Structure 1
Amino acid sequence: MKGYRILFFTQENRKVHGDTVGQWILERARKLGAAGGTMTAGGEGFGHSGTMHSAGFFEMADRPMTVSVVTDEPTCEALMAAIEEEGIDVFYCRNEVEFGRLGSDKE
């Protein structure tokens, strides 16, 4: 199947309606029917401002997070529209991909 892989970059301390931005995006993608998604914690990173974000020994709140979502085009567009409608400021990159399953139908 043809579709998109979207990577969203955020920090663990960024919230929307009580959830982290990463949790919100992952849950919205699931509800919209995305093929799959994963949230990953990073050790260190920087964004558009050049500020370093890292998982410190005592403070994990500034830890960089990446959310990866794979989905078809209509679901991708619906997810992007939902994020825009919610007013979430998040950096992303989107690439066209081919995706599917190989082997067993069991998870």
Structure 2
Amino acid sequence: MNAWQHGDEVIFMAPQSRRHHGKPVIDAVAACAKKLGITRMTQRMDSEGTGANGRTHSAHFFELADQPVELAFVLEKALAERLIEAVDEAGIDVFVLRRDVAYAQLGGERR
């Protein structure tokens, strides 16, 4: 195992239907990340979530556009800050969670 590193887990959350300049908000966040050279991210589709306004967002048989989506990153603290700032400066309307994590790459080649 490589040595443990310390950084931030950053998770952006929005309903699939939310748009920023015509494209899904989560795609806009991913584009900000790619501009910063971030290539490792995980996208998750959630079955249900409740927004700040108390409205439930979920995937329905006939309407999948309201399904909650998460885009997660594990980054060095400085890069996490730059990503959050870039998303904010772009005016992307998205909820974000940030927390301290310890992480390492297991198995495989030593880097």
Tell me if TM exceeds 0.5.
yes
Contact 1:29/1:69 (<8 A) preserved: no
- Taking the aligned partners of 2:74 and 2:109, their CA distance within structure 1 comes to 18
Match in the other structure for 1:87: 91
Alpha-carbon displacement from aligned partner over 1:68-90 (angstroms, at most 9, x marks no partner): 11101121111111111111121
| Unmatched 5+ stretches in structure 2 | none
Question: What SS does the aligned partner of 1:36 have?
Answer: coil
Deviation at 1:18, TM superposition (A): 3.4
Tell me, in whole angstroms, the C-alpha distance in 2 between the residues paired with 1:33 and 1:73: 15
Partner of residue 56, structure 1: 60
CA RMSD of aligned residues (A): 1.8
Alpha-carbon distance in 2 for matches of 1:35, 1:94: 18
Instruction: Tell me the residue number matched to 2:9.
Output: 5
| Contact 1:33 1:75 survives alignment (8 Å) | no
The aligned residue for residue 104 of structure 1 is: 108
- For 1:100 and 1:12, locate their aligned partners in 2 and report how far apart those are by CA, in whole Å: 31
Structure 1: where are the runs of 5+ without partners?
Answer: none
Paired residues, what number? Answer: 106
Alignment-derived partner of residue 73 in structure 2: 69
What are the Cα deviations for residues 36-83 of structure 1, in whole angstroms up to 9, with x where unaligned?
A: 211111111101000011111111111111111110112111111111
Give the equivalent residue in structure 1 for 2:24.
20
Cα distance in 1, alignment partners of residues 39 and 77 from structure 2: 11
Structure 1 residue 35, shift from structure 2 partner? 6.6
Q: 1:14 to 1:105 in 2, by over 3 A?
A: farther
**Identical aligned pairs, as a percentage?**
36
TM (norm. structure 1) is: 0.87
Cα distance in 1 between the residues matched to 2:31 and 2:102: 23
